[in-house]
Structure 1
Amino acid sequence: MEKHRAGNRRRRLVVVPAPFQGHLTPMLQLASILHSNGFSITIAHTRFNSPDPSNHPHFSFLPFSDGLSHSDSISSHNLTAITDTLSANCASPFRDLLLRLTTQNIACIVHDGLMYFVDSVAQQLNLPTILLRTTCATNVLAYHSLHRLLSEGCLPLQANETCRHADERVVPGLEPLRFKDLPTFISTNSDVLQYQLNKVQHGIKSSLGVIFNTVDCLEGHRVDELRQIYQVPIFPIGAFHGMAPDSSSSFLEQDHSCIAWLHEQAPRSVLYVSLGSIITWEEKELTEMVYGLLSSKQKFLWVVRARAIDVTEWVESLAEDVRKAIGDRGCMVRWAPQKEVLAHEAVGGFWSHCGWNSTLESMYEGKPMICQAHFGDQRVNSRLASHVWKVGVEWSGDVMERGDVEKAVTKLMVDPQGKQMWQRAQQLKRQLRQAVTQGGSSRNTLIHLVDHILSFS
């Protein structure tokens, strides 16, 4: 779409990301896409985990107070607490920020679904809002199903004797998702679950549209179900990174030396191992991982994030023959430029935590996965990748053991089943790339989204 299409209408969008890596990245990608379609972009962001303005010179950046300190750290167990803190502390500072901007120049507020306070402030100032959900569409549909499960007493699973074995059963209407795959916010408290679910549903119902970083060829029927349930416009315009100019939004410094190492490897010979920016590992788990990787006899590029240990010292504590084998077969870094890694011809597979960004990036590059989910929407994504799109090996162990590691890596990289996943991944790669080209489903939906926003003016 050409920039002049916006004409003289209000074209400033206020974009409000959540301060988590998996949320900030797609929001900034979406902002870049909308900027290329004629909108001016103001990023209204928390001081906690704030983005780097130098990476996005075409945007304006305005921080607001959030009640968090730079010493606060994010883990899988405190995401809900941090989100609640933001909701309690940010409404007034955000309202003051909008008033300083002069609200009559704002066409719309585009905000992350976790930034619950935005909706109430926008209503006070009579500003339209559009929601970005950074998970897949199926995950939001799972939220809807959780309401029914709570009312039937089947959640939390640990609290109900009649549902003792429910975690392995398939959820009716969400096949092939099982109860154990549902996003339950790591809580056994039904009140906490209900609170979160109410927030999700209210945010969708009160918005003038919902944007998903997904693609019709992956989830078209699930998107249609959400349209029927909520009766709001829904815009699947993924994969964002396939349409957005490349720029960094990483909170962690990327080690590009691994790309030179990949250049030296044979095509499809390397397993990329990166289990996300939040989950970290204990020394025992790292040891099991490295022995399993070495036993598989496959090359590996491993992003190592450890808890309370020095990785260099840990490697030095290993036996000499193990250290030599790591040097022969592996490359270990603290953080990698993931999109560049996944695009490299030497990479033949991805051992992933199945965050939605990583899952979509892997499929976009045609790389099959070992799916080791930990919490939230990761379990949904893992199940879809392994049982719907059939491009993943589902991790079945509850603990990290070297035999399980070797088995999963061999299945993905060597066995006939893994080769079939590779072929399926290549098919999906072609479909996803077609979606973001001129005339593709995501490009066409983007045109509808731009027109929808302009209709508010």
Structure 2
Amino acid sequence: MAEEHGGRRRPRLVLIASPLQGHMTPMIHLATFLHSKAFFSITIAHSELNPPDPSNHPDFTFLPLRDNLSSTSDFAGAVKFLQTLNDNCKPLFKQHLVNIVNAQKDTSSSDHQKESTVVVIYDNLMYFAGSVAGDLGLPSIMLRTSSASFFPVINIIPQLHQQGRFPVQGKDYRFNCFAFTDGSSEIVPELHPLRYKDLPFSGISIEQTLETINMIIPKTPPSAILWNTLEFLESSALTIIRDHYKVPVFTIGPLHKIIPTPSTSFLEEDTSCITWLDKQAPKSVVYVSLGSLAKVDEKISIEMAWGIANSNQPFVWVVRPGSVRGFEWIEFLPEGLVAEMKTRGLIVKWAPQKDVLAHFAVGGFWSHCGWNSTLESMFEGVPMLCQPFELDQKVNCRNLSDVWKIGVEVVVERGEIEGVIRRVLVSKEGEEMKERALEIQEKVKVAVSHGGSSQNSLKELVEYILSL
């Protein structure tokens, strides 16, 4: 019988992700894989904000949690948002979990089967789920959707603060996208090649920084940790993580390529850009998208527009409605500039990013360097233009430019932008970057194929869950 394993029913998995695109998407991919490969019963608990579409996943059970939030920007800072999200979702999640456990017991006693284990798999931002599982004596597995390299960085920040090295005194280095001549450009010796300006949380107070780190690094380690990354890509960071937690760590990325799933995008995708790309020359187009959350000042957006226009290269530019502060969409652009840009490219509200990156015409990806976007670009062998904003994005940017050498930092000034687009798309340096990107692409494809490190890790994960 499919639900049985060694005389015991297979565990029921309860998965919970935060209402952020970059967290919900990998969790749905993971749930789809675990259901298809091991016949696990899947329950998805989720906040009412940005819920998944149950009709896309008819085999799953969905449990909405009251969060009393209307948007991710309800609060001025991430700390208050995360605290409110976790506090509001916790009571109902605990009640759901108790009901599931009791239902398992009732079923097992009525059909003389051994009761099956309930296993909680939770996104690290929904940290309450780990504590609830612990209170109920249930095994819990944490899914980390950031780069592994982010962990050593946030783990050392309290120490750097105690030593008076963070934040850099008297300097505001909130955005990597401007040039710096002060101490924030110095290397952090313990984190080479990261600079002080690559450290996260530079836009908030040190008190909020330490509070956030305290929230997202669990006091009690989960039973195991899943990381949406690849063993070959971040081996040194993964060694630090394993030494720190001393629990099984499974590297299972990139999850978006492990198993096909229906689109999980919170925004409607404009697929017309694919038809337009079909008419462009190979590797000639720069694709510009700064993710699902970033908000950009008008001044930065106008510099971006002039840089794109002056580069004379074809482009697809995603401008999310409301993403430019003070504007509904692209009203910030001068009329003449819009007309000029239309002769060479497209501006869309949202794009099917995986399809765009896989298209033969795309030669560069100008990105905020979120981890999902980074993995998607790597899988397609597309070099990156890096404009990070916060959290692991700045760490990813530095790794892309200085470790993996398949990306280049963007300084937001129209002349710099024009130059960097041309460097990536049409220069000898860009050709060398594309070659390195293709080498990494091959390694990623090996990892996700049969017998590769990520496939083996997923197989070990299934066995691990069955052993609980």
TM-score (norm: length of structure 2) = 0.89
Evaluate the alpha carbon distance shift between residue 440 and residue 76 of structure 1 in structure 2; reply closer, same or farther with a 3 A threshold.
farther
Partner in structure 1 of residue 123 of structure 2? 112
Partner in structure 1 of residue 10 of structure 2? 10
Task: Specify the code of the residue in structure 2 equivalent to 1:100.
Answer: N
Please tell me whether the aligned partners of residues 349 and 413 of structure 1 are also in contact (alpha carbons under 8 angstroms). Answer: yes
Partner in structure 2 of residue 43 of structure 1? 44
Q: CA deviation at 1:215?
A: 0.3
SS in 1 for 2:169: helix
Q: Is 1:444 the equivalent of 2:456?
A: yes
Please tell me whether the aligned partners of residues 353 and 372 of structure 1 are also in contact (alpha carbons under 8 angstroms). Answer: yes
SS in 1 for 2:263: coil
Q: CA deviation at 1:15?
A: 0.3
Please tell me whether the aligned partners of residues 14 and 106 of structure 1 are also in contact (alpha carbons under 8 angstroms). Answer: no
Partner in structure 2 of residue 387 of structure 1? 402
Please tell me whether the aligned partners of residues 76 and 375 of structure 1 are also in contact (alpha carbons under 8 angstroms). Answer: no
Please tell me whether the aligned partners of residues 230 and 447 of structure 2 are also in contact (alpha carbons under 8 angstroms). Answer: yes
SS in 2 for 1:273: strand
Mean CA deviation greater in 333-342 or 171-180: 171-180
Partner in structure 2 of residue 423 of structure 1? 435
| Residue of structure 2 aligned with 1:339, choices 354, 357, 373 | 354
SS in 2 for 1:145: helix
Task: Give CA-to-partner distance per residue, 1:354-413, whole Å, 9 cap, x none.
Answer: 000001100110000000001111000000111111000112x3xx32112101111111
Q: Is 1:99 the equivalent of 2:98?
A: yes
Where in structure 2 are the equivalents of 1:296-375 lying within 5 Å?
A: 296-305=311-320, 306-311=324-329, 313-314=331-332, 317-319=334-336, 322-375=337-390
Distance across 2 between alignment mates of 1:23 and 1:211: 13
SS in 2 for 1:61: strand
Q: Is 1:175 the equivalent of 2:196?
A: no
SS in 1 for 2:346: strand
Distance across 1 between alignment mates of 2:5 and 2:409: 46
Mean CA deviation greater in 344-353 or 323-332: 323-332
Please tell me whether the aligned partners of residues 116 and 199 of structure 1 are also in contact (alpha carbons under 8 angstroms). Answer: yes
| Residue of structure 2 aligned with 1:140, choices 140, 151, 167 | 151
TM-score (norm: length of structure 1) = 0.91
Task: Give CA-to-partner distance per residue, 1:168-212, whole Å, 9 cap, x none.
Answer: 2222232111121122263222x3222222233325x42011111
Evaluate the alpha carbon distance shift between residue 364 and residue 147 of structure 1 in structure 2; reply closer, same or farther with a 3 A threshold.
same
Please tell me whether the aligned partners of residues 107 and 453 of structure 1 are also in contact (alpha carbons under 8 angstroms). Answer: no
Where in structure 2 are the equivalents of 1:221-236 lying within 5 Å?
A: 221-236=236-251
Task: Specify the code of the residue in structure 1 equivalent to 2:132.
Answer: V
Evaluate the alpha carbon distance shift between residue 297 and residue 427 of structure 1 in structure 2; reply closer, same or farther with a 3 A threshold.
same
| Residue of structure 2 aligned with 1:411, choices 391, 412, 423 | 423
Please tell me whether the aligned partners of residues 79 and 211 of structure 2 are also in contact (alpha carbons under 8 angstroms). Answer: no
> What is the aligned-residue RMSD (CA, Å)?
2.2
Distance across 2 between alignment mates of 1:249 and 1:425: 26
Distance across 2 between alignment mates of 1:3 and 1:157: 57
Where in structure 2 are the equivalents of 1:142-291 lying within 5 Å?
A: 142-158=153-169, 166-184=183-201, 186-189=203-206, 191-202=207-218, 205-291=220-306
Which sections of structure 2, spanning at least 5 residues, go unmatched? 105-115, 172-180
Distance across 1 between alignment mates of 2:360 and 2:58: 32
Distance across 2 between alignment mates of 1:356 and 1:421: 19
Q: CA deviation at 1:75?
A: 8.4
Evaluate the alpha carbon distance shift between residue 3 and residue 78 of structure 1 in structure 2; reply closer, same or farther with a 3 A threshold.
farther
SS in 1 for 2:408: strand
Q: CA deviation at 1:12?
A: 1.3
Question: Which contiguous aligned blocks of 4+ residues in structure 1 show a shift greater than 6 angstroms?
Answer: 2-5
SS in 1 for 2:141: strand
Distance across 2 between alignment mates of 1:286 and 1:373: 14
Task: Give CA-to-partner distance per residue, 1:406-442, whole Å, 9 cap, x none.
Answer: 0111111112111111000000101001101110001
Task: Specify the code of the residue in structure 1 equivalent to 2:218.
Answer: H
Partner in structure 1 of residue 446 of structure 2? 434
Distance across 1 between alignment mates of 2:406 and 2:5: 40
Distance across 2 between alignment mates of 1:259 and 1:414: 22
Q: CA deviation at 1:286?
A: 2.9
SS in 2 for 1:258: helix
Please tell me whether the aligned partners of residues 221 and 245 of structure 2 are also in contact (alpha carbons under 8 angstroms). Answer: no
Number of equivalent positions: 443
Evaluate the alpha carbon distance shift between residue 309 and residue 173 of structure 1 in structure 2; reply closer, same or farther with a 3 A threshold.
same
Q: CA deviation at 1:159?
A: 6.2
Kindly, what percent of the aligned residue pairs are identical?
A: 44
Task: Give CA-to-partner distance per residue, 1:235-291, whole Å, 9 cap, x none.
Answer: 111110111213211111111111111111111011000011111334443332222
Task: Specify the code of the residue in structure 2 equivalent to 1:437.
Answer: S
Evaluate the alpha carbon distance shift between residue 276 and residue 94 of structure 1 in structure 2; reply closer, same or farther with a 3 A threshold.
same
Greater helix fraction, Structure 1 or Structure 2: 1
Q: CA deviation at 1:106?
A: 4.4
Where in structure 2 are the equivalents of 1:67-82 lying within 5 Å?
A: 67-68=68-69, 70=70, 72-74=71-73, 78-82=77-81
Distance across 2 between alignment mates of 1:169 and 1:426: 31
Which sections of structure 1, spanning at least 5 residues, go unmatched? none
Task: Give CA-to-partner distance per residue, 1:31-66, whole Å, 9 cap, x none.
Answer: 112112212211001111211112222211111112
Distance across 2 between alignment mates of 1:429 and 1:77: 39
Partner in structure 2 of residue 65 of structure 1? 66
Task: Give CA-to-partner distance per residue, 1:290-309, whole Å, 9 cap, x none.
Answer: 22111111000010133332
Distance across 2 between alignment mates of 1:372 and 1:299: 19
Task: Specify the code of the residue in structure 1 equivalent to 2:436.
Answer: R
Evaluate the alpha carbon distance shift between residue 286 and residue 243 of structure 1 in structure 2; reply closer, same or farther with a 3 A threshold.
same
Distance across 1 between alignment mates of 2:150 and 2:76: 19
